[in-house]
């Protein structure tokens, strides 16, 4: 999903400025996702929610994203 497209960008691009631009677009996607579903409670976000909880703890505090 998200990380696969980022890895493909690293594979294709050798220009650091282009890679940074790609990361900036990914950040805006993440901000939009959290704005639309702050608790990642939608079924399509279940895997992401599970991964976030396993990495960052029992509570999702995503208010500071962005």
Reported confidence tier of residue 54, pLDDT bands at 50, 70, 90? confident
pTM assigned to the model = 0.54
Reported confidence tier of residue 17, pLDDT bands at 50, 70, 90? confident
- Other Cβ atoms within 10 Å of 40 Cβ, number: 19
For residue 60 the two structure tokens come to 């999702």
Query: What are the counts of helices (DSSP H) followed by strands (DSSP E) for the chain?
Result: 3, 0
Dihedral (Cα; 27, 28, 30, 32), 10-degree rounding: 170
Q: Terminus-to-terminus CA distance in the chain, angstroms? A: 20
Q: Crossing angle for the helix pair 16-36 and 2-12, nearest 10 degrees?
A: 170
Q: Which pLDDT score, from 0 to 100, does residue 46 have?
A: 92
């Amino acid at each position: 999903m998200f990380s696969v497209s980022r890895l493909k960008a690293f594979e294709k691009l050798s220009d650091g400025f282009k890679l940074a631009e790609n990361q900036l677009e990914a950040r805006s996607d993440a901000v939009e996702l959290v704005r639309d579903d702050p608790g990642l409670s939608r079924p399509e976000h279940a895997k992401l929610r599970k991964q976030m909880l396993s990495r960052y703890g029992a509570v999702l505090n995503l208010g500071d994203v962005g």
